[in-house]
Structure 1
Amino acid sequence: MDNLVFLGTGDAMGVPRVYCSCETCMEARAGGLNVRLRSSVLIDNGSDFLAIDCGPDWRRQMESLGQRTMRRLLVTHAHFDHIGGLPEWADACRWMGYKGELFAPAEVIPVILRQYPWLDRNIQMIPCDDGIELDGWQIDTWKVNHGKNGYSYAFRLEKEGYKWVYCPDSISLTPQETERMHGLDLLVLGTSFYYEAAELSTRSVYDMTEAADLLRTVQPARAVYTHMSHDVDLRKAYILPENVTLAVTGLRLPLTRSE
């Protein structure tokens, strides 16, 4: 059985923030529940894995798993918190003597290569706009609104009737952008705050109150919130829909329907 594993559940800055002494950051600084590396997940099939996003905490995440090799990766967009670990992955590929496979929408690939022009020596860049199949998963991708930060992409994965979406960076999605989110078994959604008071034009990711409205529209069987800032304290009891879980590092979810 395939399992979804959360390697990181934090926003672009992670938790704790180096400058911050809020209760959440102080609890995280002491090694508590709120420690959050930059958001990334992997699909573990028992013999190999497929990762989604490779932020600057990639090496620490791999060490925590006891993994020495990573051969395949999906990338949602080319912001640093999602690709900052690519140079280390490329170096690992070079030393291990194989070429990694990076799957991303076509317009994302040149942005990555502008930042790291040497990567394609050790990592093959493969467009996936028309869909791909990996480990039996049919994977589709589409562009989503990332607010003031431009755009990101979501991934929809289906295998043996189980359907789920990974969408860590989005806000104010249109009906066209949510069309492939309806009726999922699982929606993994980025929610940086419980409630973000900043003016909408200055924001880039859903808060949890807005996400609740989205869930009422698309009606997944289950949702997991990730990409959380230090505004979110996992020790608190937030008012959330009954089918929502807040992700913690190491959370493992079976990607199969319960009997």
Structure 2
Amino acid sequence: MKLTFLGTGTSQGIPVVACDCEVCRSVDFHDQRLRSSVLIEHKETSLLIDTGPDFRQQMLTHRVKRLDAVLYTHEHKDHTAGLDDIRSFNFKQKMDMPLYGRHTVLDQLKKEYAYMFAEKKYPGVANVAIHELKNSPFTIGDIMVQPIEVMHYKLPVFGFRFDNMAYITDAKTVAPSEREKLKNLDVLVINALQKKEHISHLTLAEALQFIEEINPKRAYITHVGHYMGLYRDVALELPKNVHLAYDGLILNS
């Protein structure tokens, strides 16, 4: 199983527009973060998690030539706003792109991209096939997917487990029943927005406590905001098995 971090930033990315803080001024590539998304690859199957505003740039940067499906964590724009560019894969693969999400996500996509779902579509519009996600395992190609439900304040969000890897973003709380699904992981990816308390995201301290409880072999922090601090400084504060993820990082398991 291969996981590529296409983006590791929060909703505004880093640098943030009009911000002059030291993180946003940093020339270290570790501090330059697109909106959060990952590519999961195993044998012949490639799955994308979320199509944020930077989707086109991410596909070009990593020279992605094929996608078998898109999995959505939730309906916020920093996770859905790039969907229109899926049409390039339609043309190349000659297939409707399967989209997987809970019903609230699919309803939101139908509103925001109504032209994709129109009875009479404009020529060249992206073609998608929607699949409603429930909180139960399913398979795409040769990849088994286990949804993990977390709460983003009061909004349900899906994380996903793929064999011995798990990816969770935009979490603030995780029920005990869902934590059970995260046992015996080699790799856990979990969000941490900043060090100060936040209503809908884990802080760094909360994420580290969560990692300690789950006890994966390795853990990576994603969905990072500019208030977290410089990559080089935060990296020194972390336990040996915990790392700040960065755009372009590739994990194999």
- What do residues 184-240 of structure 1 show as CA deviations (whole Å, max 9, x unaligned)? 1111101111x1145xxxx21111111111122111111111100112311214422
Q: Distance in 2 between matches of 1:231 and 1:88?
A: 31
- Letter of the 1:242 partner, please give it: K
Cα distance change, pair 48–133 in 1 and its aligned pair in 2 (3 A) = closer
Provide the C-alpha distance between the structure 2 equivalents of 1:235 and 1:153, rounded to a whole number of angstroms: 30
Q: How far did 1:119 drift?
A: 3.0
| Alignment check: 8 A CA contact 2:150 2:173 kept | no
Separation (CA, whole Å) in 2 of partners of 1:100 and 1:79? 20
Per-residue deviation, 1:94: 5.0
- Residues 173 and 47 of structure 1: is their aligned pair in 2 closer, same or farther, counting only changes over 3 Å? closer
State the partner residue of 2:101: 104
Q: Which runs of 5+ in 2 are unaligned?
A: 118-125
Deviation at 1:124, TM superposition (A): 0.5
Q: CA RMSD in A?
A: 2.0
Secondary structure of residue in 1 paired with 2:231: coil
Equivalent residue, structure 2, for 1:61: 58
Q: How many residues align?
A: 241
Please show how residues 85-96 of structure 1 align to structure 2 within 5 Å.
85-89=82-86, 91-96=87-92
Task: Decide whether the 8 Å contact of 1:73 with 1:102 is kept in 2.
Answer: yes
For the 8 Å contact 1:105–1:141, the answer to whether it is kept is no
Report percent identity of matched pairs. 32
Q: Which of 92, 106, 129 is residue 124 of structure 1 equivalent to?
A: 129
Moved more, 75-84 or 107-116: 107-116
Map residues 41-190 of structure 1 onto 2, 5 A cutoff. 41-45=38-42, 48-89=45-86, 91-96=87-92, 97-120=94-117, 122-129=127-134, 130-147=136-153, 150-158=155-163, 163-190=164-191
Matches within 5 A, 1:165-244: 165-193=166-194, 195-198=195-198, 203-232=199-228, 233-236=230-233, 237-244=235-242
**TM-score normalized by the length of structure 2:** 0.87
SS of 1:153's partner is strand
Paired residues of 1:53 and 1:76 also in contact (CA < 8 A): yes
Select between 205-214 and 38-47 the one with higher mean Cα deviation: 38-47
- SS of residue in 2 equivalent to 1:20: coil
CA distance 1:93–1:252, change in 2 (3 Å): closer
- 1:95 deviation in Å? 4.0
Deviates more, 1:211-220 or 1:230-239: 230-239
CA distance in 1, matches of 2:162, 2:90: 30
